[in-house]
A and B are shown apart, each in its own frame.
Chain A
């Protein structure tokens, strides 16, 4: 893994080399702040908590995370740099993990830049900062799970847009699985036990558990597993299609 760090550094700094990253961060901040105040009515709720913010993030991530991930492999394949990359003394796993972690770190930066919201509720009242911390942690892990899916879909096609759309669709399904309205529909023709399992596969129930302030090993393992599965699929797809 000696080449992990240079790869990570290149990918991570790569985000900041192009103006797209800054545009992305600005739009993400506006969207999240906008949702929190205008849809979530943080101020009028008169409650010192970031629940309105955390409630909208799973839906915002649906667009923003695949947008971060779509470039990762599609661009390498389109420009042919993948051939350069995999003829350097770099293993597939190293490259996959480095790219993923760089994207994750970038999302972490974007998420951390929402800190004015945290300052705001602390200025206005006395929130439970433990719960807020847990909320951020949950968001970060969920972003990781979304990103691993996006890495995988990015490797499927040379076209970033296709990778993006596939990423959004798969993530959307994974969000839906934990969403009450959707499982109610499923419940009309599937047995209850199966519904239970299906809703456990979705992102949202695990995210909500963490964001309530209860850090449970099972939810963490779920997200880590989701990330590992996404990246394994990513590796498989790359092995099969890197040269095509």
Chain B
């Protein structure tokens, strides 16, 4: 549905996006991750036709974003960062305006707007000027605006930014419920969000893609992947640490916890050590109070990939 190939954007001497390529098939929800200034928003602006790429191509639904910009825009619902809208208009006026621009005429305009009133739960503020609304409502109005023409492609730039946890939850549900027939790209720097809703994650840093995988694949890249955390009786701690370090496949053992009663065992890349640890503890009669195998941590992966990239960049 969306295809990006060697996309480059330069602002003067600064290269904001440095030749990225990826494809998003129909129905996928893609999380777009990256530190601030990594080029997420710039990429999205190029996809939505707001700015033109300096080089490379991108297409949405088979239409080129430069040559056929209007056709691309018609297929996309876009929520720009911080959901800008015309503050002096009321919610209903604004949505009717967008509906008209989206090609609806006469009765269909009202209909489309009213549908959004339900979907995005805007009844309470329906006739209120947007500038008087809370951040959460403004974000919902932004959603409504992006969804009003039922687009096949949704591009959402930090849709939950600045919302309280409840509102974030609502928005995530909204996105998840949008069904499998929509292709969605959303940018965020909140990792739990990605885990919660995305089927795939692309991490970019300094204008380049540093990771492109499913959330679980990414977690596997974490040094915490398959790490085992266990709580042991304090008198056995030293012994256990020495024993664990000697198991095959263990990379390191770390002491943590306030009472110094917890050990974390990191496996070597690709090794599964949980079974071996449990065998060992039975054999050595370690009294383990608690044992937990970790899935891996996205924030750690995120830091790792974006930092290392940083080093690479500098070394170049």
Q: Which residue of B lies closest to A87 (CB)?
A: B48
A14 engages B86 (CB within 8 Å)? yes
| A84 pairs with B103, CB closer than 8 A | no
For residue B21, CB closer than 8 A to chain A, the reply is no
Interface hit among A88-96, A143-151, A204-212 = A88-96
CB pair B87 A86 closer than 8 Å: no
Q: Which residues of B contact A2 (CB under 8 A)?
A: 103
Q: Are B80 and A14 in contact (CB under 8 A)?
A: no
Check A86–B50 contact: CB distance below 8 A.
yes
Residues on B with beta carbons closer than 8 Å to the beta carbon of A79: 84, 86-87
* Contacts A14-B89, A81-B86, A83-B45 given; does A90 touch B50 at CB 8 Å: no
CB-contact partner of B88 in A6, A7, A17, A88, under 8 A: A17
Q: Does A18 contact B (CB under 8 A)?
A: yes
CB-contacts of B5-57 with A (<8 A): 45, 48-51
Give the CA-CA distance A49 to B48 in the complex, in Å: 56
A6 touches B100 (CB 8 A): yes
| B80 partner, pick from A10, A18, A87, A91, beta carbons under 8 A | A87
- Classify the interface of chain B: helix, strand, loop or mixed: loop
| Contact across chains for B101 and A87 when beta carbons are under 8 A apart | no
Q: Could you give, for residues 64-97 of chain A, a 1 whenever the CB lies within 8 Å of some chain B CB and a 0 otherwise?
A: 0000000000000001110110111111000000
- Complex-state Cα separation, A79 to B80, whole angstroms: 12
Quick one: closest A residue to B51, CB to CB?
A243
Tell me, yes or no, whether A3 is within 8 Å of chain B by CB: yes
Smallest CB separation, A84 vs chain B (Å) = 5
Residue pair B101, A6 in contact (C-beta under 8 Å) = yes
Residues A10 and B97 in contact in the complex (CB < 8 Å), given A2-B103, A243-B45: yes
B85 within 8 A of A: yes
Q: How far is it, in angstroms, between the C-alpha of A67 and the C-alpha of B86 when the chains are bound?
A: 19
A230 CA to B50 CA in the complex, in Å? 23
Asked if A89 contacts B74 (CB within 8 A), the reply is yes
Give A89 Cβ to nearest chain B Cβ, in Å.
Answer: 4
Taking the closest CB of chain B, its distance from the CB of A35, in whole angstroms, is: 31
Query: Is B76 an interface residue when CB atoms closer than 8 A count as contact?
Result: yes
Q: Which residues of A contact B86 (CB under 8 A)?
A: 10, 14, 79, 81
By the criterion CB–CB under 8 Å, are A17 and B102 in contact? no
- Whether A6 pairs with B84 at a CB distance below 8 angstroms is no
Chain A residues touching B, majority SS: loop
CB distance from A98 to the nearest CB of B (A): 11
Residues in A with CB closer than 8 Å to B100 are: 3, 6, 9
Per-residue 0/1 for B80-96: is the Cβ within 8 Å of any A Cβ (1 yes, 0 no)? 11101111110001000
Distance, CA A242 to CA B70, complexed state (A): 17
CB distance from A236 to the nearest CB of B (A): 14
* Binary per-residue interface labels of chain A (86-120) against chain B in the complex, 1 for a CB within 8 Å, 0 otherwise: 11111100000000000000000000000000000
What is the chain A residue whose CB lies nearest that of B89? A17
Asked whether A242 lies within 8 Å of B102 as measured between CB atoms, the reply is: no
Q: Contacts A17-B88, A18-B88, A80-B84 given: A87-B102 contact, CB under 8 Å?
A: no
Residues of chain A within 8 A of B97, CB atoms compared:
6, 9-10
Distance from B68 Cβ to chain A, minimum over Cβ atoms (Å) = 11
Query: In the complex, which residues 208-244 of chain A have their Cβ closer than 8 Å to any Cβ of chain B?
Result: 242-243
Complex Cα spacing A17 to B86, Å: 11
Contact check, B101 vs A3: say whether CB atoms are below 8 A apart. Answer: yes
Whether a CB of chain A sits under 8 angstroms from the CB of B143 is no
Q: Does B263 contact A (CB under 8 A)?
A: no
Bound-state CA distance A87–B87 (Å) is 18
A88 to B86 CA separation, bound complex (whole angstroms):
14
| Bound Cα distance A213, B98 (Å) | 44
Q: A83-B50, A88-B98 are in contact. List 11 more A-B contacts (CB 8 A).
A: A6-B100, A7-B101, A9-B100, A79-B86, A81-B84, A83-B84, A87-B49, A87-B73, A87-B78, A90-B101, A243-B50
The 9 closest A-B pairs by CB, nearest first: A80-B84, A6-B100, A87-B48, A89-B73, A83-B80, A81-B84, A87-B78, A243-B51, A89-B74
Residue positions of B touching A, CB distance < 8 A: 45, 48-51, 70, 73-74, 76, 78, 80-82, 84-89, 93, 97-98, 100-103, 145
- 7 contacts across the A-B interface (CB closer than 8 A): A3-B100, A14-B86, A17-B88, A17-B93, A18-B88, A83-B45, A91-B70
Residue positions of A touching B, CB distance < 8 A: 2-3, 6-7, 9-10, 14, 17-18, 79-81, 83-84, 86-91, 242-243
